[in-house]
């Protein structure tokens, strides 16, 4: 049995309503940040110790739109726990636990509602159908709502995904310049209204290894 948090009910309903009105995940997140609505990790930091409380992200909105529990039914088996080697070439390094989304055949739904609904089943299904239609429409359809996939590049980034900003702890992005590779974290990519903006420099650079 899940308890309803009255303070977040309106936020969840707003997210579903705005998506059905044609707004994308990032646009919804930006609107919530502009209105000063705390994100889940800021509202309940004790339950989100692994996340930065730096405002709403498109991925946070997407997770809410994809969560069927808001319909009032209980769902089990949506995620599968898997243990994988931290380093396949070094078994002694140990294992790391990751959670992966299960297939639809592994998900079980309660026959009766387990808690009060926040959005109706019809609203949830309509959102899922629109997301699938937009995904099937390719890049042209996604451009209207969400940022398209990253462009491929032939340049190698040796430290890709390994360098983090000392101010905000986000991964720094590679930026080639002549024979060098710079890894940069730009303050303009922080969500509007983030408290991190008060102390984050405009740009933070790290110089990577010299290219061939």
How far apart are the C-alpha atoms of 26 and 41, rounded to whole Å? 17
pLDDT for residue 190: 77
pLDDT for residue 149: 43
How far apart are the C-alpha atoms of 208 and 175, rounded to whole Å? 10
Higher pLDDT, 115 or 139: 115
Residue in the structure block whose two tokens are 């599968």:
80
Domains of the chain: 1-74+110-149 (3.90.1750), 75-107 (no CATH), 151-212 (no CATH)
pLDDT for residue 114: 82
Residue 74 has pLDDT above 90, yes or no: no
Based on C-alpha coordinates, what's the Rg of the chain? Answer: 20
Nearest partner of 211 among 151, 149, 153, 152, judged by Cα: 153
Report the mean per-residue pLDDT for the chain: 77
Q: Whole-model pTM?
A: 0.57
């Amino acid at each position: 049995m899940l308890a309803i948090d009255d303070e977040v009910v309106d936020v969840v309903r707003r997210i579903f309503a705005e998506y059905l009105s044609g707004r994308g995940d990032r646009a919804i997140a930006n609107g919530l940040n502009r209105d000063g609505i705390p994100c889940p990790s800021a509202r309940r930091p004790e339950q989100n110790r692994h996340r930065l409380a730096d405002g709403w992200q498109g991925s946070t909105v997407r997770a809410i739109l994809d969560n069927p529990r808001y319909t009032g039914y209980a769902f089990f088996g949506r995620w599968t726990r898997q243990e994988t080697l931290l380093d396949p070439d070094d078994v002694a390094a140990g294992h790391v636990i990751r959670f992966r989304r299960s297939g639809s055949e592994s998900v079980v739904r309660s026959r009766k509602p387990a808690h009060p609904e926040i959005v109706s089943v019809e609203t949830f299904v309509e959102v899922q159908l629109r997301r699938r239609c937009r995904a099937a429409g390719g890049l042209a359809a996604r451009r209207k709502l969400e940022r398209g996939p990253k462009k491929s590049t032939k340049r190698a980034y040796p430290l890709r995904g390994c360098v983090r900003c000392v101010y905000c702890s986000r991964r720094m992005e590679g930026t080639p310049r002549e024979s060098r590779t710079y890894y940069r974290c730009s303050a303009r990519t922080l969500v509007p209204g983030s408290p991190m903006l008060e102390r984050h420099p405009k740009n933070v650079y790290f110089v990577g290894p010299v290219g061939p």
